[in-house]
Amino acid sequence: MKKILHILLISCFSFTIISCAEINSSMDDISNKYDEFSKESDETEKTDAKVEQTTDSTISEKTPSSRPLFVSVGGKGTILTSSNGTKWTKRASGSKGKLRAVAYGNDTLVVVGFSGVILTSSDGAIWTKRKSGTKAHLGNVTYANDTFVAVGNGGSVITSSDGTKWTKRKSRTKTSLYGVAYGNNTFVAVGYKGTIITSSDGTKWTKRKSNTSVEFNEVIYADDTFFAFGFKGVIRSSLSGKSWSKIKSGTRMGLLGASHGNSTFIALGNAGNFITSSDGKSWTKRNSGTKKHLRGITTGNGKFVIVGNAGTILTSPDSTTWSKMESGTSRHLRRVFFELVE
């Protein structure tokens, strides 16, 4: 009987050990599977993090903080935009009037035109009409020193900090103004009968002597110098905007628009002709290959872009060889503008 009890006790003890071993083994399997799941989860999280990081990086590369934008304006409310100067898109301006010039500042594009028209846009695609407070034909606009300055007929000058609200200023002249530029802490506006006025802030203006009665169509600031361009090939230059010197252009044609870029000055004329200079002092006559009057010019993205009558758009990398672009309009284009916009 004792032997039987002894055998039974040994059997129970063995069964207990085996059962415990199986339980421990099962727990180890569960633990191992949990560890594997945890590792897999960690790897998944790391992978997700990599995907998220890659996605963010890709977005930032595809959406830079600024983008190139050409804007051209003209008759019947025409506004054209382009990112490269080659392919152009017509935009709805909401205006039927003659648009004359474009400026960019404070993250805002401003277009001015006849009858006091002012349009603004943040992207060049959607435009909004603004109240200018004047019925005068506005011929040009610029942005500098945190201020938009627009000029026009009858000596009109209006200013704005944001392109939305405008204030009339006294220009001390009744003659029409067609060009305005900023440089050397000075605004310079030019116009009819050789008129030149200057201002440090766009608010108070002073008349200057140009020593000519020829109408000025454009003024630019480049190479630390102001240059005013007019009919009969007239060019005047000034360092400060106060006293002006005569420059021989070598032509008698009317100079309608001008720009400086790629170390080259270009002044536009009639019948596709223009003049170029490396220093603004010695000029050479050129031809663009078109017979259309050329009105506006800008430099951007490593190229010159010219606009003119009957929807003419020309581009050139060097101011020597010109290519005609399709504008999609037959309207006269008066000016073209380039800027890196936000």
pLDDT-derived band at 27, boundaries 50, 70, 90? very low
Confidence (pLDDT) at 146: 98
Looking up tokens 């536009």, which residue turns up?
268
Tokens linked to 17: 């050990």
pLDDT tens column, 288-334: 999 999 999 999 999 999 999 999 999 999 999 999 999 999 999 99
What are the tens digits of pLDDT across the range 228-285?
A: 999 999 999 999 999 999 999 999 999 999 999 999 999 999 999 999 999 999 999 9
The CATH number of the domain where 95 resides is what? 2.120.10.80
Bridge-based pairing of strands 206-208 and 303-308 is unpaired
Look at residue 28 and tell me whether its pLDDT is greater than 50. Answer: no
Q: 42 to each of 31, 35, 192, 281, how far by Cα in Å? A: 16, 10, 76, 71
Spatial contact of 205 and 170, defined as CB atoms under 8 Å apart: yes
Query: In whole angstroms, what is the distance from residue 249 CA to residue 235 CA?
Result: 7
pLDDT tens, residue by residue, 166-178: 999 999 999 999 9
Q: What pLDDT score was predicted for residue 342? A: 83
Whether 161 maps to a domain, the answer reads: yes
Q: Is residue 183 part of a domain?
A: yes
pLDDT for the residue numbered 66: 86
Local confidence band at 150 (pLDDT 50, 70, 90 cut-offs): very high
The pLDDT, as a whole number, for residue 64 is 53
pLDDT tier for residue 7 given thresholds of 50, 70 and 90:
very low
Q: Which residue has the higher pLDDT, 9 or 84?
A: 84
What is the layout of strands, in order, in the sheet containing 167-169? 138-144, 147-152, 157-160, 167-169
Against a cut of 0.85, is the pTM above it? no
21 falls within a domain: no
Per the structure, the count of domains in the chain is 1
How many residues belong to the chain?
342
Judged against a pLDDT cut of 70, whether residue 5 lies above it is answered with no
| Average predicted confidence (pLDDT) for the chain | 87
Buried b (16+ CB within 10 A) or exposed e, 25-44: eeeeeeeeeeeeeeeeeeee
- How confident is the model over 67-84, as a mean pLDDT? 98
Domain assignment of residue 284, yes or no: yes
Is residue 22 in some structural domain? no
Instruction: In whole angstroms, give the CA distance from residue 108 to residue 100.
Output: 17
> Is there a domain that residue 215 lies in?
yes
DSSP state of 65: S
pLDDT attached to residue 51: 31
DSSP characters over 194-222:
G-EEEESSSSS-EEE--S--SPEEEEEEE
Please tell me the predicted confidence (pLDDT) of residue 110: 99
Instruction: Flag whether 320 is in a domain.
Output: yes
Q: For the chain, what percent of residues have pLDDT higher than 90? A: 80
Q: Quick check: is 62 in a domain?
A: no
- Please give the share of the chain, as a percent, with pLDDT higher than 70: 81
Segments forming the whole domain that contains residue 106: 69-341
